[in-house]
Copies of this chain bind each other. A is one copy, B any other.
Amino acid sequence: MSNPAPLAELWRGDLLESLHTGHAVICDSSGQIVWSCGNPDTIIYPRSSAKMIQALPLVESGAADAAGLGVPQLALSCASHSGEAQHTTRVADWIEGLGLSENDFRCGVQQPSHSETRRTLLLNGEAPCQLHNNCSGKHAGFLTLNRHLGAGAEYVEVDHPVQTACKTAFEEVTAMDSPCYGIDGCSAPNFATSVHGLARAMASFASAHTRSGVRAEAQSRLVQAMITHPELVAGTGRACTELMGAAAGRAALKTGAEAVFVGMIPETGFGIALKVVDGGTRGAECAIAALMVRLGILDANDPAVLKRMNAVQKNWRGIETGIIRPAAHLLS
């Protein structure tokens, strides 16, 4: 956590009201740092930004193909979705196809983050279920792999074959041992790595299409699935979905809890990872948008970019009261 750099600023009137600091790394396909700020060696939990890594054993084992998973299901396996019908119906069909039910999940019940869906559930007198958990796609992937492996039902335990496979893949693509793990919001273990390690992993995904082999093929399929279905990776109005839409196929992006954000740019093989020290999501969204502009992938004037990189703050009467903008060094 030491020596973080400014990443995003909230200005109100003529005063810097709040400041988000953190660590960010852009690295190339060889793992070399192209640009960084803060301390690249800071150890972090990638949280949900590691989902495409956690999906590697699903694809590499042959479990995904054996279960006939399509591109939408691969995108959902990497998703932190909003619990909209477009997400939950696909995940429900997926696990039904496995002969499993919502009871087999171990992610827990979560209210959908999509407010209209929450409102509809309430007005219909319906309760949310595990399908609405933002990680239900990842867990459907875990269940698919688990059936392939023939292992026990408690697939989120850290020594379960599903999770040991995830850990092995994680340490391989980050190119370092994971020093520790924590339990994530969805009950799965989340392995720690450095910001540099996470960027290295993302560069490995971004450049996978230039390599051959089981690993590279799996990485490339997952990146393409995310790029093909931005709406399944997050949801309506969300940063991952809107910024990937604005990037029009040139980048895959993924957020993680406590203000982690990663990016993969296939045309250069660059990987990006950043962590805002305080866990403030608005800071991470602002910073990733700025770095994508820096790299020429996003247009600073695109509405999806402006919404995060020059986020005008309005009050209850619609009056502009402030703006969130990136620290200048992210763009220069």
Contact surface of A with B, Cβ cutoff 8 Å: 1, 10, 12-21, 43-45, 106-110, 119, 122-123, 133, 179-187, 190, 192, 258-259, 276-280, 283, 315-319, 321-322
Contact = CB atoms under 8 A, between A and B. Distances in A.
A202 to B, nearest CB: 20
Total identical chains: 2
20 contacts: A1-B16, A1-B19, A10-B258, A10-B279, A12-B45, A12-B190, A13-B180, A13-B192, A17-B44, A21-B277, A21-B278, A109-B316, A119-B122, A123-B123, A183-B319, A184-B321, A187-B316, A187-B319, A277-B278, A279-B280
A46 B5 CA distance: 25
B107 A12 contact: no
Contact of A17 (B16, B123, B258, B316): B258
In the A-B complex, the 3 residue pairs with the smallest Cβ-Cβ separation, listed nearest first, are A108-B316, A13-B182, A18-B279
Given A12-B183, A15-B179, 13 more contacts: A12-B45, A13-B180, A13-B183, A13-B192, A15-B45, A18-B258, A18-B279, A20-B278, A21-B277, A108-B316, A110-B316, A122-B123, A187-B317
A279 B286 CA distance: 15
Contacts of A181: 13
Which of A17, A107, A133 lies at the interface centre, i.e. has the most chain B CB atoms within 10 A of its CB? A17
Nearest to A191: B13
Given A108-B316, A109-B316, A322-B182, A45 B17 contact: yes
Nearest to A43: B15
Nearest to A282: B279
A108 B317 contact: yes
Which of A44, A317, A318 lies at the interface centre, i.e. has the most chain B CB atoms within 10 A of its CB? A317
A316 B185 contact: yes
B315 A187 contact: yes
Q: For chain A, what secondary structure do more than half of its interface residues adopt (helix, strand, loop), or is it mixed?
A: loop
Nearest to A280: B278
Contacts of A20: 278
A107 B183 contact: no
A74 B183 CA distance: 46
Which of A19, A179, A259, A315 lies at the interface centre, i.e. has the most chain B CB atoms within 10 A of its CB? A315
A318 B186 CA distance: 10
Given A107-B316, A110-B316, A122-B122, A17 B279 contact: yes
Which of A1, A18, A192, A259 lies at the interface centre, i.e. has the most chain B CB atoms within 10 A of its CB? A18
A315 B277 contact: no
A266 to B, nearest CB: 30
Contacts of A107: 316-317
A207 B180 CA distance: 50
A136 to B, nearest CB: 11
Contacts of A190: 12
Contact of A192 (B15, B133, B192): B15
Contacts of A183: 12-13, 315, 319, 321
A184 B108 CA distance: 38
A178 to B, nearest CB: 11
